[in-house]
Amino acid sequence: MSELHGNFSQNLKNIGTVGRSLSTWLLLLVPLSAAIGALCAVFLWLLDWATQSRFHYPNILYLLPVGGAAVAWIYARFGGTSDAGNNLIVDEIHTPSAGVPLRMAPLVFFGTIITHLFGGSAGREGTAVQLGGSLASTAGKYLHLSNAQTRLLLMAGVAAGFGAVFGTPLAGAIFALEVLAVGRLDYAGLLPCLLASLIADWTCHSLGAHHTLYHISYVPPASAPLFQHPLLLAKAALSGVAFGLVALIFAEANHKFGALMKRLVPFSPLRAAIGGCAVIALVWIFQTRAYLGLGVWSAIPGDPTISGFFAPSTDYWSWALKLLFTVVTLSTGFKGGEVTPLFFIGAALGHALAGLLNAPTDLFAGLGFVAVFAAAANTPIACTLMGIELFGAANAVPITIACWVAYTCSGHHGIYLSQRIATPKH
Amino acid sequence: MSELHGNFSQNLKNIGTVGRSLSTWLLLLVPLSAAIGALCAVFLWLLDWATQSRFHYPNILYLLPVGGAAVAWIYARFGGTSDAGNNLIVDEIHTPSAGVPLRMAPLVFFGTIITHLFGGSAGREGTAVQLGGSLASTAGKYLHLSNAQTRLLLMAGVAAGFGAVFGTPLAGAIFALEVLAVGRLDYAGLLPCLLASLIADWTCHSLGAHHTLYHISYVPPASAPLFQHPLLLAKAALSGVAFGLVALIFAEANHKFGALMKRLVPFSPLRAAIGGCAVIALVWIFQTRAYLGLGVWSAIPGDPTISGFFAPSTDYWSWALKLLFTVVTLSTGFKGGEVTPLFFIGAALGHALAGLLNAPTDLFAGLGFVAVFAAAANTPIACTLMGIELFGAANAVPITIACWVAYTCSGHHGIYLSQRIATPKH
């Protein structure tokens, strides 16, 4: 029993060490995460402003080539390594080297606002993650932290940005761990990421930022809680295959088309200008502006939006159009994230599949919302938690099935090329 | 673009391969998981019967030393490697060698029923996991599967047993992946485990097995969804430290006291008989039978039970008594699991802490329920999902905080000694 006592007091000592290191982390993480959360609140507010401005002045779209070229020129002139974006952050977490430059924060912040003001089709998670990573890396350099500490701080910064910008702190914490490698979740950083994500989300909320609420009214019959309809779950799995394939198309198209454009047009401002013109051409060809911007709001009532896909309709192709608009925007160098367009593509595809499979529209829109992103970012567990955070626990089983099947079907190269492959999918 | 096309068709081919391998897995996993689910239903029904019988004939307790000795003798005479239990299964998943013997299934099945019939304090997850592992390993041997396939099948068997016995299929799927190593979740086996867990749970439900429902009526105010009370969350984190320390005490006490008893009394039937006498002595000393059996039901209304801890009272020490009764029972060689007693200990400790911290009793009982187990088994993500499956998503944030903090504070040697340490906690 003395050995038990010895072991136990050893463990108590360990907890003392953890406690001390925790206080240090608290002193460091609380202000950093609060700052990232506050920046995300301003960012969300400015995105809202940019989108409303575009709705008020539709002709601003014709400045998209100019806006894109200007941002690309600024990046080329002053950006340094900033242009690598999320990939630089993932790389710095894996093998800390020169760090993430502080200038990445203002560049991606204003670059994304310009994309959305002039009508590019893009997202916001990349921006939030880069804000978090850039601030965290700078804090680490300023405080002369070790590589291991900087790594944790960077992960916490990613968690804070992600958790705050989507209002999903649990998904944010897991995302920061899960995005680093395909097929493996390593628990180093579990608590710092959770703390950072919660504080950033809380700050963002406290400053009055609102997240669109999505509602799935479908609930499985109460007779057998949680797991009821094998047929419905089979449909969720089948849809998961489609979600995974579309995520694969999205990621591959972005990479290949981006590489092709870089080869054909090495001068980045010209590339962005061409991309802007292409987006304008797409608006002319398809005679709609519904696929510009985030896709969260629409200027014309009845135009497709993410929340609109939660109600039945006969819209079968919005997912493909949004994919096209987004690939053209992002692969020509516009700034912004991939995730909100992936939410749109997923919700639209789930909406369409619900019609084909005779399944509840709201549920399948929700499944697509999280599962296409799960597959494209190779983050099935973060997206399962995001689905539960956004839509509640009643449909946790189909959400999990859709996310995990989609992840299994999307190949090994997701939207983040610097992600390592730890455990192949098959 | 031809490269894109080539890559994409390569990926389609991969999906074809996945599809074929999936059909094979379906043919194998569906009947296996259904069989495990059915066995779990019978097991749950017999546990109920054994407990009711003990309530009807209280003097049956005095046969506990004889029952324990008989089971220990049968294990020593016929069990082969079965006595290693869950540890053998985890070892076989890591490094497949002789396999898990089929006889483990009937031995642990009836051994656990005898523990509960005569009044030992134990659980049921070990039994369910060993039923699943034993059947899966036998199927693998019979079908001459490769080591890699057997490994996946064993994990699926664990997921099926766990998912069915607690009615929490998502937690079951993650548990089977997470229990293998401390600090790392590897995604190989993600889908087979999910499928097995869902089918086993569904079979178990369909055969009429009922799981006790626990209800947390506390909901955070709707004004700020999910994340509201920093003070409440700080209390959840503080309780998480206590949950982790108690899990550490439980695991260490089981290991050390078990090793001591083995050294002092090498003859296993005598050891179990002594354990049985010690449990009877504890009943005399504390003048209560409330800490016998699972702790899910009570013979005397008002006696502490797991669901009772969800309502306020002045019971501050039930967690320590249940810990004592369970360590005496399990470390002297009685069969059964650790998890249901850990649910009891956690809910009782959460209940007590809620009183001390002026926090909602039902919420903190629920936090302890999942977090002590998370810390003792080193499975924080499975337990987070279990908490969401059992209690809903409204309190997902405090559930996550409690589970992750408890996990961080419980040291590296949980209740499963064959667990590898992949990433140290600190």
Residue A239 lies in a domain: yes
| Cross-chain Cβ contact B389/A184 below 8 Å | no
What is the rounded distance in angstroms from the CA atom of residue B323 to the CA atom of residue B242?
Answer: 14
Q: In B, which residues are within 8 Å of A386 by CB distance?
A: none
Nearest chain A Cα to B258, which residue? A1
Determine the Cα–Cα distance for residues B266 and B272; give it in Å rounded to an integer.
Answer: 11
Pair (B196, B243) in one structural domain: no
CA distance B19 to chain A (A): 10
Nearest to A69 by CA among A217, A268, A234: A268
> Chain A residues with CB inside 8 Å of B233's CB?
198
Task: Say whether residue A425 is in contact with chain B using an 8 A CB cutoff.
Answer: yes
Answer yes or no: is pLDDT of A261 > 90: yes
> Residue B226 and residue A188: Cβ atoms within 8 Å?
no
Cβ atoms within 10 Å of B76's Cβ, excluding its own: 13
Q: Which residue has the tokens 């003792």?
A: B376
Type of residue found at B303: D
Q: Which two tokens stand for residue B48?
A: 């109920």
- Output the pLDDT for position A56: 96
The single-letter code of the amino acid at B171 is A
Beta-bridge mates of residue B181? B420
Could you tell me the residue range of the domain that residue B17 belongs to?
Answer: 2-206
CA distance A276 to A69: 9
Rounded Cα distance, B91 and B120, in Å: 27
B289, part of any domain? yes
pLDDT band of A215, cuts 50, 70, 90 = confident
Cα–Cα distance measured from residue B151 to residue B137, given in angstroms and rounded to the nearest whole number: 9
Question: How distant is the Cα of A59 from the closest Cα of chain B, in angstroms?
Answer: 33
CA A302 – CA A305 distance, rounded (Å): 8
Domains in chain A: how many in total?
2
DSSP B311-346: S-----SHHHHHHHHHHHHHHTT--S-SHHHHHHHH
Q: Are B288 and B58 in contact (CB under 8 A)?
A: no
Is there a contact between B423 and A256 if contact means CB atoms under 8 Å apart?
A: no
**In this structure, are B163 and B292 located in the same domain?**
no
Q: Is residue B390 part of a domain?
A: yes
pLDDT recorded at residue A413: 87
Are B251 and B332 members of one domain? yes
Task: State the smallest CA–CA distance between residue B21 and chain A in angstroms.
Answer: 9
User: Which residues from chain A sit within 8 angstroms of residue B34, using beta carbons?
Assistant: none
Write the DSSP string, B281-301. Answer: HHHHHHT--TTSS-SSS-SST
In a domain, A235, yes or no: yes
Residues A24, A162, single domain; the answer is: yes
CA quadruple A400, A401, A404, A407: dihedral positive or negative?
Answer: negative
The reported pLDDT for the residue numbered B2 is 45
Which of B 375-404 lie inside 8 A of A, CB atoms? 380-381, 384-385, 388-389, 392-393, 396-397, 400-401, 404
Structure tokens given for A160: 């804070």
Q: Is A182 left (phi over 0), alpha (psi -120 to 50) or beta?
A: beta
Q: Which chain B residues have a beta carbon less than 8 Å from that of A160?
A: none
Closest residue to B184, CB basis, from A17, A187, A396: A187
Same domain, residue pair A347 and A399 = yes
Distance CA A372, CA B404 (A): 28
Q: What is the pLDDT of residues B363-394, one digit of tens each?
A: 999 999 999 999 999 999 999 999 999 999 99
B261 touches chain A (CB under 8 A): no
Q: How far apart are CA A247 and CA A343, in angstroms?
A: 11
Taking the C-alpha atoms of residue A324 and residue B317, their distance in angstroms, rounded to an integer, is: 63
Average pLDDT over chain A reads 91
Q: Check residue B288 and give left, alpha or beta (phi > 0: left; psi -120 to 50: alpha).
A: beta
Strand segments (E) across B130-256: 181-182, 184-186
Q: Where are the alpha helices (DSSP H) in A57-96?
A: 64-78, 86-94
Same domain, A196 and A273: no
Contact (CB<8Å) B248/A400? no
**What is the share, in percent, of chain A residues with pLDDT greater than 90?**
76
Residues of chain B with pLDDT under 70: 1-15, 17-19, 221-228
Pairing of strands B420-421, B181-182: parallel
Same domain membership, residue B250 and residue B127: no
Question: How crowded is residue B102: how many other Cβ atoms within 10 Å of its Cβ?
Answer: 16
Label residue A9 by pLDDT band (50, 70, 90). Answer: low
Nearest partner of A343 among A312, A304, A400, judged by Cα: A304
Could you tell me how far CA A292 lies from the centroid of its own chain?
18
The per-residue pLDDT for B4 is: 45
End-to-end CA distance of chain A: 48
* Other beta carbons within 10 Å of B255: 18
pLDDT at A2 over 50: no
Using CA coordinates, name the residue in chain B closest to A234.
Answer: B195
Q: Do B186 and A423 touch (CB under 8 A)?
A: yes
B14 touches chain A (CB under 8 A): yes
CB–CB contact B227 A201 (8 Å) = yes
Does a structural domain hold residue B224? no
CA distance B36 to B158: 9
Q: Is the distance from CB of B365 to CB of B309 less than 8 angstroms?
A: yes
User: Tens digits of per-residue pLDDT, A119-177?
Assistant: 999 999 899 999 999 999 999 999 998 888 899 999 999 999 999 999 999 999 999 99
Contacts of B169 in chain A (CB under 8 A): 226-227, 397
A92 and A197 together in one domain = yes
Cα–Cα dist A327/A338, whole Å: 9
Q: Does A7 contact B256 at a Cβ distance shorter than 8 Å?
A: yes
| Three-state secondary-structure class, residue A185 | strand
Structure tokens at B285: 């000393």
CA neighbor of A100 nearest in space, from A119, A118, A115, A79:
A79
Burial B375-394 (b: 16+ CB within 10 A, else e): bbbbbbbbbbbbbbbbbbbb
CB of A61 less than 8 A from some CB of B: no
Q: Select from B3, B33, B187 the residue whose CB has the most chain A CBs within 10 Å, as the one to mutate to test that interface.
A: B187
φ, ψ for residue A376, nearest 5 deg:
-75, -35
Smallest CA–CA distance, residue B260 to chain A, in Å, is 8
Which pair of structure tokens corresponds to residue A394?
A: 């009643």
Confidence at residue B354, expressed as pLDDT on a 0 to 100 scale: 96
Of residues B186, B202, B385, nearest to A184 (C-beta): B186
Instruction: Tell whether B254 lies on the interface with A, counting CB pairs under 8 A.
Output: no
Does A9 contact chain B (CB < 8 Å)? no
Does any domain span residue B218? no
Q: State the Cα angle at B297 between B292 and B301, rounded to 5°.
A: 100
Query: Does B171 lie in the same domain as B246?
Result: no
CATH code of the domain covering residue B382 = 1.10.3080.10
- Give per-residue pLDDT as tens, A339-360: 999 999 999 999 999 999 999 9
User: Does residue B217 belong to any structural domain of this protein?
Assistant: no
The widest CA-to-CA distance across chain B, in whole angstroms, is 81
Amino acid at B191: L
DSSP-based three-state secondary structure for A319: helix
Read off the pLDDT of residues A21-58 as tens digits, 9 standing for 90 and up: 777 788 899 999 999 999 999 999 999 999 999 999 99
Whole-Å CA distances, B307 to A412, B113, B294, B312, B347: 45, 22, 12, 11, 8
Q: Are residues B16 and B64 in the same domain?
A: yes
* Cβ distance of B404 and A17 shorter than 8 Å: no
Q: What letter represents residue B237's amino acid? A: A
Interface test with A, best of B155, B170, B263 (most A CBs within 10 A): B170
B112 and B201 both lie in a single domain:
yes
Contacts of B346 (CB under 8 A, 6+ apart): B243, B246, B319, B367, B368, B369, B370, B371, B372, B373
User: Is the Cβ pair B186, A183 closer than 8 Å?
Assistant: yes
Q: Name the one residue in this structure whose structure tokens are 């229990």.
A: B179
Q: Could you tell me whether strands B184-186 and A184-186 are parallel, antiparallel, or unpaired per DSSP bridges?
A: antiparallel
Length of chain B: 426
The nearest alpha carbon in chain B to A255 belongs to B4
Could you tell me what percentage of chain A is helix, strand and coil, using 3-state DSSP and rounding each to the nearest 5?
A: 70, 0, 25
CB contact under 8 A, A389 and B407: no
How distant, in Å, are the alpha carbons of A117, A123, B35, B139, B182 from that of A294? 11, 6, 48, 51, 40
Would you call B8 and A252 a contact, using CB atoms and an 8 Å cutoff? yes
More confidently predicted of A413 and A156: A156
C-beta atoms of A256 and B194 within 8 A: no
Q: Are residues B35 and B167 in the same domain?
A: yes
Do the domain assignments include residue B213? no
**Neighboring chain B residues of A202 at a CB cutoff of 8 Å:** 227, 230
Residues B393, A397: C-beta atoms closer than 8 Å: no
* Tokens 């002369």 found at: A144
DSSP B355-385: HHHT--HHHHHHHHHHHHHHHHHT-HHHHHH
Could you tell me how many CB contacts below 8 A there are between chain A and chain B? 167
- Residues of chain A contacting residue B400, judged by C-beta atoms under 8 Å apart: 170, 173, 194
Phi-psi region of B253 (alpha: psi -120 to 50; beta: other; left: phi over 0): alpha
Q: Amino acid identity, residue B205? A: H
What ipTM was reported for this prediction? Answer: 0.94
Q: How far apart are CA A419 and CA A72, in angstroms?
A: 25
Assess contact for B243 and B350: CB atoms under 8 A. Answer: yes
Six token digits for residue B142: 């019979």
Give which of B320, B328, B336 is closest to B257, Cα–Cα.
B328
